């Protein structure tokens, strides 16, 4: 067959036109044994892809339409590709639905090369300047958390025994951190314009990943279809463009190069001094969109997963709270300087991140030239999917990988272990640019919320499923909690 002749990695036989992608589009009951968990729920793509590695090996191939895609499984393979062969495997593919919207500009979907490198370096340094990973961002994050706590209390009192859905409040607090860094302002969670913007971004992603609009990737002209989700996608894109263009215009009007307030101001300033023509308002537009999308759902979902694991494992919640009480007491706000004194809390955060991998299939990579990899030929232009989920569930790396056990991240003296194959932020040159910011937000959110409240499921509610909903990120299915003040 074609695969053997070209020495490309093995894999299941593709269908005409749709390739192996048909297997994901066809309802799970037709897919039979691949499609369902034992409780009857549909398996997410990363679970199916991990199972396929047992059949075809850790490097195998699929076809999305006629596009060749290679799935990398397990730590050794993922590290070998993204670190040791990073020059070849750090490019991003030209995925029609995404290219239409990003024009391959910004950071996340920009091709690997000098422009991406310069833009990423500038944004990383600027965010750092405005407090990323430093103590100066702490007050901003803690202010957001203070209002989450007030609102949780208020809503909990009004909800009786039904409990509160924490998702909108957490999402709002997280996106406000990005807003402060990029736009120099934050918004109330009931602000209409802000909520609209968050909803639009959510809907845009949802349509691109979880609707018939995925077919644009196989038949790009569908994007111009005058009805259904295709029309809606163009509408959403138009609305986001209007919002972001207004943000940039407002900054231009009030811009003072001697007092840059945020990333947008810093970028406008850089544009005036840089001779490099890639620093343009157009590029800035895509960077703002990227940071919003990359920095909101990932972090918010991680906090929500941690709260969910806490209500499902009250004994672990007890231990985290005992540690917080001992180090912080019940009144002092947490600070990043407390991190080293709260190893069990940190291990709990890491264990939830291991089990729930916020971006389970990373962001697709692409081979920028034809290369030999682990005995196979990977042709130029192959879509590369680093399966981070498979790394975190590998039974050869983790004891009883499906069980929740924060202790695996601690040594015999209770000190935090550095485990190399724990890679929720990816690895190599395309590693998450917001890793430090995300770690800061997760630590402060978890310590602050668990210091203030005991979380439990509403009485009589069946425990929510832990399978989650997979788009580009893995979100917990909606759930409600009851909160009990501890102070």
- Show binding-site residues: 432
Nearer CB in complex with ligand HEM: 28/73: 73
Specify the residue, 23 or 346, whose C-beta has the smaller distance to ligand HEM: 346
Among 470, 293, 306, 312, residue whose Cα is nearest residue 389: 470
Pairwise CA distance, residues 433 & 363, whole Å: 13
Rounded CA separation 483/487 (Å): 12
Q: How far is the CB of 360 from ligand HEM (least distance, A)?
A: 8
| Minimum CB distance to ligand HEM smaller for 223 or for 425 | 425
Q: Which of residues 20 and 175 has its CB atom nearest to ligand HEM in the complex?
A: 175
Q: 174-179: long-range contacts (C-beta < 8 A, 24 or more apart)?
A: 174/144, 174/295, 174/296, 174/299, 174/300, 174/303, 174/441, 175/292, 175/295, 175/296, 175/300, 176/140, 176/144, 177/137, 177/140, 177/141, 177/144, 177/295, 177/437, 177/441, 178/291, 178/292, 178/295, 178/296
A 10 A CB-CB count for 472 gives 22
* Phi, psi (deg, nearest 5) at residue 385: -115, 105
Closest separation in Å from C-beta 315 to ligand HEM: 25
Nearer CB in complex with ligand HEM: 297/323: 297
Query: Phi, psi (5° rounding) for residue 485?
Result: -60, 140
Which CB atom, from 174 or from 222, has the smaller least distance to ligand HEM? 174
Shortest Cβ 184–ligand HEM spacing (Å):
15
Residue closest to ligand HEM when measured from CB atoms: 434
Which distant-in-sequence residues (6+ apart) come within 8 Å of 95 by Cβ?
A: 109, 217, 364, 383
Closest contact distance (angstroms) between CB of 335 and ligand HEM is 19
As annotated, the binding site for heme includes 432
Burial class of 349 by CB neighbour count within 10 A (0 to 12, 13 to 18, 19+): buried
Q: How far is the CB of 426 from ligand HEM (least distance, A)?
A: 3
- What is the contact surface with ligand HEM in residues (CB under 6 A)? 107-108, 120, 290-291, 294-295, 298-299, 302, 358-359, 362-363, 386, 424-426, 430-434, 437-438
Nearer to ligand HEM by C-beta: 177 or 316?
A: 177
For residue 36, list its beta bridge partners: 42
Distance of closest approach, residue 437 Cβ to ligand HEM, in angstroms: 5
The least distance separating ligand HEM from the CB of residue 141, rounded to whole angstroms, comes to 11
The region, left, alpha or beta by phi > 0 then psi within -120 to 50, assigned to residue 228 is: left
């Amino acid at each position: 067959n074609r695969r053997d002749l070209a020495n490309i990695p093995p894999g299941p036989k593709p269908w005409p036109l749709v390739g192996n992608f048909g297997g994901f589009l066809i309802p799970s009951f037709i897919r039979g044994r691949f499609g369902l968990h034992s409780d009857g729920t549909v398996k997410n793509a990363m679970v199916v892809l991990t199972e396929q590695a047992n059949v075809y090996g850790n490097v195998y191939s699929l076809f999305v339409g006629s596009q060749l895609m290679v799935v990398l499984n397990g730590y050794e393979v993922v590290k070998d590709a993204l670190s040791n062969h990073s020059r070849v495997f750090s490019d991003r593919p030209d995925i029609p639905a995404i290219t239409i919207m990003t024009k391959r500009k910004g950071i996340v979907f920009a091709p690997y090369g000098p422009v991406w490198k310069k833009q990423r370096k500038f944004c990383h340094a600027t965010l750092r300047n405005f407090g990323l990973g430093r103590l100066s961002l702490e007050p901003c994050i803690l202010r957001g958390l203070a209002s989450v706590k007030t609102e949780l209390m208020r809503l909990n009192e009004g909800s009786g025994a039904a409990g509160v859905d924490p998702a909108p409040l957490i999402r709002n607090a997280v996106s406000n951190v990005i807003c402060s860094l990029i736009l120099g302002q934050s918004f109330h969670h009931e602000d209409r314009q802000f909520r609209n913007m968050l909803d639009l971004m959510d809907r845009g992603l949802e349509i691109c990943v979880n609707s018939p609009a995925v077919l644009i990737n196989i038949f790009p002209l569908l994007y111009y279809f005058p009805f259904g989700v295709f029309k809606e996608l163009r509408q959403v894109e138009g609305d986001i463009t209007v919002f972001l263009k207004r943000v940039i215009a407002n900054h231009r009007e009030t811009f003072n190069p001697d007092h840059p307030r945020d990333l947008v101001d810093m970028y406008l300033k850089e544009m005036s001094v840089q001779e490099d023509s890639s620093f343009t308002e157009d590029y800035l537009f895509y960077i703002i969109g990227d940071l919003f999308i990359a920095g909101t759902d990932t972090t918010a979902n991680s906090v929500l997963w941690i709260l969910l694991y806490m209500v499902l494992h009250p004994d672990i919640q007890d231990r985290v709270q005992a540690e917080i009480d001992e180090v912080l007491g019940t009144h002092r706000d947490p600070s990043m300087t407390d991190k080293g004194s709260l190893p069990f809390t940190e291990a709990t955060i890491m264990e939830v991140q291991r089990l729930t991998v916020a971006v389970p299939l990373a962001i697709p990579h692409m081979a920028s030239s034809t290369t030999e990899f682990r005995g196979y030929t990977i042709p130029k232009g192959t879509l590369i999917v680093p399966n981070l989920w498979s790394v975190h569930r590998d039974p050869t790396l983790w004891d009883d990988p499906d069980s929740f056990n924060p202790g695996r991240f601690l040594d015999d003296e209770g000190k935090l272990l550095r485990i190399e194959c724990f890679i929720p932020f990816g690895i190599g040159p395309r590693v998450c640019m917001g890793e430090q910011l995300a770690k800061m937000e997760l630590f402060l959110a978890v310590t602050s919320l668990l210091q203030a409240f005991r979380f439990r499921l509403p009485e009589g509610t069946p425990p929510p499923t832990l399978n989650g909903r997979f788009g580009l990120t893995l979100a917990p299915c909606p759930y409600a909690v009851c909160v009990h003040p501890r102070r």
